[in-house]
Amino acid sequence: MRREFLSGNRAIAEAAILSGLKFYAGYPITPASDLMEYLAEKLPRYGGIVVQFEDEIASINAAIGASWAGVKAMTATSGPGFSLMAEGVSLAVATETPVVVVDIMRAGPSTGIPTKATQSDVYQARWLAHGDYTIPVFAPWSVQDCYDMTIKSFNVAEKFRTPVVLLSDANIAHMWETLYVKEPGEVEIIERKKPSAPPDDYRPYKPDEDLVPPMAVFGEGYKVIVESLVHDELGYYRQDSETYREMVTRLNEKIRRGVGYIYEQEEYWVEDSDVVVVAYGSTARMVYPVVKALRQRGARVGFLRLKTLWPLNEEWLWKSLSRAGKVVVVENNTGRLYLDVARIAGSARTFFSPVITVDPPKFNEVMEAVARWL
């Protein structure tokens, strides 16, 4: 392990390389472009390829194709480009393709303010595409978190055969901090399951006990079927209710069953608090010192940071929040996680306190948003 001084986007790139990234597909967009530029310089040294495609539609589909060719793949974009990836993300869900999608949030809707950050893509990350599905979404709050959660994103994508969204923003992407960079062997790197059955017995979408099918790739002697339509275990198109129900239920259930591995949260002073503040991402960076200052003044207030936005571990959250009299959700949007937190918080009264700004949230702004509920 060594100390480095990197930006959030460069930390994502370094962690992706350590995780085994071999194919990056992208199209320039602020504030994600420098991630591709950095990888274009470094990834070839590790046997990888970076390709700039004609748009984000081509990028997500190329990443899916690379994954089926047997390599770890990633793409990165911001809100407008993420919108163009909707159909590709749905394809990755249906075909159970491991791929990491990095969304560096900026102000929207539409082209918004390209160089400014908000948390306006939270619902987009969860429900970008059509269909009935659940995909993991992670939200870092620091450069170190960008590094660690990129590794986590690749591990989850490979372990559960799913697209994963890493939801950063322009503030974190271009912020420089000291972090600890790990060496190979110092961190767990998960590889996708390969089939153990002989090629003649292989059923491409037959799940193991964890509901995740082993994944064959092209060129290994197995019959590989990449089917976007509703399909059975052999990968053949079916249009009956039973096959559809089994497929959609399994795609969602494999993620829900894995919530113990996927979900992460951090707690500060929660156990003895009458009020718990919930936040995530760059907004949480200022919530922490605000809560710490309130504690020093004698307020019984705690802080819970969501590292995983979906799937939520509702049992963990309920245990953390239900003891408090009040829960305050602070977000840089008009309320995205608030409704889920309010539903889970049990008997605690839950309040939404937005800090809507295109600049990094200021201490006084967050203090006002929190203190009004004490």
Q: Is the pLDDT of residue 244 over 90?
A: yes
289, two tokens: 């010192």
- Look at residues 312, 331, 332, 310 and name the one whose alpha carbon lies nearest to residue 320: 312
Residues 6+ apart with CB under 8 A from 278: 304, 305, 306, 321, 327, 328, 329, 330, 337, 341
Q: What CATH number does the domain located at 265-372 have?
A: 3.40.50.920
- Two domains, one topology: 2-181 and 265-372: yes
pLDDT beyond 90 at 191: yes
> Distance (Å, rounded) from C-alpha 351 to C-alpha 255?
29
Query: Which CATH architecture does the domain made up of 2-181 adopt?
Result: 3-Layer(aba) Sandwich (3.40)
Positive or negative, the Cα torsion across 155, 61, 26, 44?
positive
Task: Give the mean pLDDT of 297-304.
Answer: 97
* Contacts (Cβ under 8 Å, ≥6 apart) of 251: 93, 94, 96, 132, 133, 134
Report d(CA 365, CA 358) in Å as an integer.
13
Query: Per-residue pLDDT averaged across 190-213, rounded?
Result: 95
The confidence band for 217, taking pLDDT boundaries of 50, 70 and 90, is confident
pLDDT, tens digit (0-9, with 9 covering 90-100), for 92-127 = 999 999 999 999 999 999 999 999 999 999 999 999
User: In which band, very low, low, confident or very high, does the pLDDT at 260 lie, cut at 50, 70 and 90?
Assistant: very high
Q: Where in the chain are the domains? A: 2-181, 265-372
H/E element, 89: helix 86-95
The structure tokens listed for 292 are 């710490």
User: Region 211-221: what's the mean pLDDT?
Assistant: 93
d(CA 121, CA 79): 7
For residue 12, give the H/E element and its range. Answer: helix 8-19
Quickly state the pLDDT bin for 317 (edges 50, 70, 90): very high
Using pLDDT thresholds of 50, 70 and 90, give the confidence band for residue 324. very high
pTM above 0.85, yes or no: yes
Average pLDDT of the chain to the nearest whole number: 97
Beta bridge partners of 279: 305
Reported confidence tier of residue 346, pLDDT bands at 50, 70, 90: confident
- Residue 145 clears pLDDT 90, i.e. is over it: yes
Of 146-150, 163-167, 345-349, 367-371, where does mean pLDDT reach its minimum? 345-349
